[in-house]
Amino acid sequence: MGKILIIGAGGQLGQCLKIVAERRAITNIVFPAEADANILDQSGIESLLQKEQPAFVINCAAYTAVDKAEDEVELAKAVNETGAANLALACASNKATLVHVSTDFVFEGNLVKLLTENDEAKPINVYGQTKLDGEKAVIALLKEHFIIRTSWLYSEYANNFVKTMLKLGAERDELNIIADQVGTPTYAIDLANAIFDVIASGSTSYGIYHYSNEGVTSWFDFAQAIFDISATQVKANPIPGSAYPTKAIRPAFSVMDKSKIKNTFGLAIPYWRDSLVQCIEKLKEN
């Protein structure tokens, strides 16, 4: 498989990659501290790659605060676009393949259809735009890249929708949840497995791929499933997005077509609710 270097090792996906690497007995892998892997420090990243000489770099580092990005445009742009470009340049000069994680938020989400990698990306918020610009930078600077767009990421680690719902569900009698934004949750452990499968394949079918769990749901139905599976007694009320205005507009429908990644790498993708059961069981254990 060759040596693997993880950028953004302390984040949600970085932690899941560490767990999955242990489960799969992948030992030739490095999880540097954030201070040693700052994608805004071009010379530092270059030095890190020269020192480690990885065959693959997985970039999990990103600015993901969707609403804050509307105010912190320059910071979001620096991390998601400039940072991605810095990493792509370092990979190019050190002959490493880059696995770069992106998002369904590159899409406008105004059409009810499965979104393919060839569909036009037309972001409607700053976060989505900076992630799209990051994709473009990687494509322009490095041939050896796999860009994997994912959606609604959650796990036992870091802050995410599942953990927030479990916390609020335990504290309150009633919750209002948006019901008119539709997509697919993705268990970050499943995404981590998929990334290692892509690397292990030895494929040079570079380009953009879509990965989320299987199935379609709304935030309301996702929350309802979290409460059902965890036996949390709370009343959930479906509300329209207009009743809960946020700084950043979200895509109304961002369900991605995963045929390309399944066919290219022979992946079997779990159904979202089955993975949610696994995650909640792990959270209970902890």
Q: For residue range 185-208, list pLDDT tens digits in order.
A: 999 999 999 999 999 999 999 999
Asked if residue 178 is part of any domain, the answer here is: no
- 127 is known as an active-site residue: yes
User: For 129-180, how does the pLDDT look when each residue is reduced to its tens digit (9 = 90+)?
Assistant: 999 999 999 999 999 999 999 999 999 999 999 999 999 999 999 999 999 9
User: Torsion-angle region of residue 126: left (phi > 0), alpha (psi -120 to 50) or beta?
Assistant: alpha
Position 286 scores a pLDDT of: 87
Could you tell me if residue 175 is inside a domain? no
Domain assignment of residue 244, yes or no: no
Percent of the chain with pLDDT over 90: 99
Alpha-carbon dihedral 53, 56, 60, 63, rounded to 10 degrees? 70
The whole-angstrom separation of Cα 55 and Cα 286 is 34
Is residue 127 within 8 A of residue 69, CB to CB? The reply is yes
Phi, psi of 8 (to 5 degrees): 85, 35
**Burial (CB count within 10 angstroms: exposed 0-12, middle 13-18, buried 19+), residue 149:** buried
Q: What is the C-alpha to C-alpha distance for residues 178 and 223, in angstroms, rounded to an integer? A: 10
Is residue 62 one of the residues assigned to a domain?
yes
Amino acid identity for residue 192 in this structure: A
Helical spans, DSSP H, in 78-125: 83-93
Q: What is the CATH number of the domain that holds 20?
A: 3.40.50.720
The CA distances from residue 78 to 30, 112, 155, 205, 233, in Å, are 24, 32, 26, 28, 42
pLDDT at 246: 93
Read off the pLDDT band of 79 (50, 70, 90).
very high
In a domain, 31, yes or no: yes
The answer for 41, left when phi > 0, alpha when psi is -120 to 50, beta otherwise, is beta
What pLDDT is stored for residue 260 in this prediction? Answer: 98
Residue 101 resides in a domain: yes
Which one of the listed residues 63, 127, 157, 187 is annotated catalytic? 127
Domains contained in the chain, number: 1
In contact, 246 and 219? CB cutoff 8 Å? no
In the structure, what pLDDT confidence band is assigned to residue 269 with cuts at 50, 70 and 90?
very high
Instruction: Provide the 10 A C-beta neighbour count for residue 114.
Output: 14
Q: Where are the alpha helices (DSSP H) in the chain?
A: 12-23, 42-52, 73-77, 83-93, 126-141, 161-171, 188-200, 219-230, 259-265, 272-285
Q: Which structural domain range is residue 75 located in?
A: 4-160+186-215+255-270
Instruction: Give the pLDDT confidence score for residue 22 in this predicted structure.
Output: 98
The model's pLDDT over 96-122, given as tens digits with 9 standing for 90+, comes to 999 999 999 999 999 999 999 999 999
In a domain? residue 111: yes
- Mean pLDDT computed over 202-227: 98
Cα separation, 6 vs 114, whole angstroms: 30
Residue 1 has pLDDT above 90, yes or no: no
Given a cut of 90, is residue 255 above it in pLDDT? Answer: yes
What is the pLDDT, as a whole number, of residue 40? Answer: 97
Instruction: In whole angstroms, give the CA distance from residue 259 to residue 273.
Output: 20
Question: Which position has the higher pLDDT, 1 or 36?
Answer: 36
Q: What separation in angstroms does the CA of 51 have from each of 1, 81, 110, 149?
A: 19, 24, 46, 29
With 90 as the cut, is the pLDDT of residue 25 above it? Answer: yes
Report the interhelical angle of 83-93 vs 42-52 (nearest 10°): 40
Q: Is 100 a domain residue?
A: yes
Average pLDDT, the chain: 97
Q: Are strands 217-218 and 182-183 parallel, antiparallel or unpaired?
A: antiparallel
pLDDT of 70: 98
Parallel, antiparallel, or unpaired for β 56-59 and 145-150? unpaired
Say what the pTM is.
0.97
Would strands 186-187 and 217-218 be described as parallel, antiparallel, or unpaired? unpaired
